[in-house]
Amino acid sequence: MLHVQDLMSTNLFTLKKSDSLMAAKSLMELARIRHIPVVENGNIFVGLITHRDILSATLSKLADVERAVQEEIEASIPVSEIMRSDVFAVAPHASLRDAAELLLNHKYGCLPVVEKDILVGILTEADFLRLTIDLMDALDT
């Protein structure tokens, strides 16, 4: 049986609660990711910020606000104000099938992987797509 630790990503980008909305937005754009775990004091998992969270906290381009003003506002909003702290997380030894059902049934984009409050990885929809491609390739041979 496959476990979460067999598929999760461990090379993670993280933020602290004191980092800004601007930092989160820049990191997502540069790393081309949609989920950033928020950690404190030795990688203790405290929350998650998603692309959707950023979109809802960012001023619309239709608001006719100068770019410099918008950037100043985004630099002043800490991640703690927009992150989600009620995030469901899984353990590394959890069943991969159970994790897939959680993602599917709750329409989550990712599951932080936590062991004793410490962030050890993240499991995303993209990880499952890569697994699907690998399985299809194996079936073709």
Do 63 and 2 touch, CB atoms closer than 8 A? no
φ, ψ for residue 45 (rounded to 5)?
-75, 125
Q: How confident is the model at residue 23 (pLDDT cuts 50, 70, 90)?
A: very high
Report the mean per-residue pLDDT for the chain. 92
**Model pTM greater than 0.75?**
yes
* CA–CA separation, 80 and 71 (whole Å): 18
Residue that wins the pLDDT comparison between 63 and 106:
106
Model confidence over 39-75: pLDDT tens digits?
Answer: 999 899 999 999 999 988 876 665 667 778 777 888 8
φ, ψ for residue 57 (rounded to 5)?
-95, -10
Range 122-133 average pLDDT = 93
